[in-house]
């Protein structure tokens, strides 16, 4: 996905300082960013990285200046970064169901709202809750004790 700096700024309610037509393809940390990347600076202790970053654009707080850099000035770069990460890297979703190539032992309790891919083994006594995704190669359970898989909560 590519978006122009001016489109990104409009989306997050920011102001562009520099060339708003430059395209952004990825979001990376300030010390790893390169051309085509967006980064951010929210903590003043990283101000020294601002001049050296190769990022095409930088999310910054009001009052931040950097000659020759394309900036998107926003009230809270952390909040805007979170919003943009969800846009550039949307959460993958998987259809619920159990692959015919999965090995499910009798006595395994699997929610109809779970996703079990091929080459997954789920032993008897294991409980797979709704929303859980088991990718190929996962082995769930022990033959001697109950194991429960729960969907991870986002932090």
Cα–Cα dist 30/114, whole Å:
38
Of the candidates 68, 48, 73, 47, which has an alpha carbon nearest to the alpha carbon of residue 58?
Answer: 73
Output the average pLDDT for the chain: 91
| Domains located in the chain, CATH noted | 3-88 (3.40.1390.10), 97-149 (no CATH)
Q: pLDDT for 53-110, tens place per residue?
A: 999 999 999 999 899 999 999 999 999 999 999 999 998 889 999 999 999 999 999 9
pLDDT of residue 148: 67
Q: pLDDT for 107-123, tens place per residue?
A: 999 999 999 999 999 99
Query: Is 0.75 topped by the overall pTM?
Result: no
Q: Which residues contact 19 (CB under 8 A, 6 or more apart)?
A: 5, 70
pLDDT of residue 144: 54
CA dihedral sign of residues 21, 23, 27, 28: negative
**Upper half-sphere CA count for residue 69 (Cβ side, 13 Å):** 25
Provide the β-strand partners of residue 3: 24
pLDDT of residue 129: 93
Cα–Cα dist 125/147, whole Å:
7
Provide the β-strand partners of residue 38: 27, 57
User: Has residue 145 got a pLDDT over 60?
Assistant: no
pLDDT of residue 42: 86
User: Has residue 137 got a pLDDT over 70?
Assistant: yes
Q: Which residue has the tokens 């969907």?
A: 151
Confidence of residue 142 (pLDDT cuts 50, 70, 90): low
If you average pLDDT over residues 39-46, what whole number do you get? 88
């Amino acid at each position: 996905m590519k978006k122009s700096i001016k489109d990104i700024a409009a989306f997050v309610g920011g102001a562009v300082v520099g060339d708003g037509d430059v395209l952004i393809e990825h979001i990376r940390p300030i010390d790893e960013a390169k051309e085509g990347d967006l980064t951010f600076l929210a903590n003043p202790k990283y101000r020294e990285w601002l001049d050296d970053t190769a990022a095409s654009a930088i999310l910054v707080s009001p009052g931040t200046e950097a000659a020759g850099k394309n900036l998107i000035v926003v009230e809270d770069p952390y909040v805007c970064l979170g919003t943009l990460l969800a846009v550039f890297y949307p959460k993958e979703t998987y259809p619920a169901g159990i692959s015919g190539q999965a090995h499910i032992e009798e006595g395994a309790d699997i929610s109809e709202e779970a996703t079990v891919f091929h080459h997954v083994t789920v032993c008897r006594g294991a409980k797979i809750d709704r929303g859980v995704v088991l990718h190929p190669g996962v082995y769930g359970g022990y033959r001697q004790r109950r194991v429960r898989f729960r969907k991870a909560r986002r932090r």
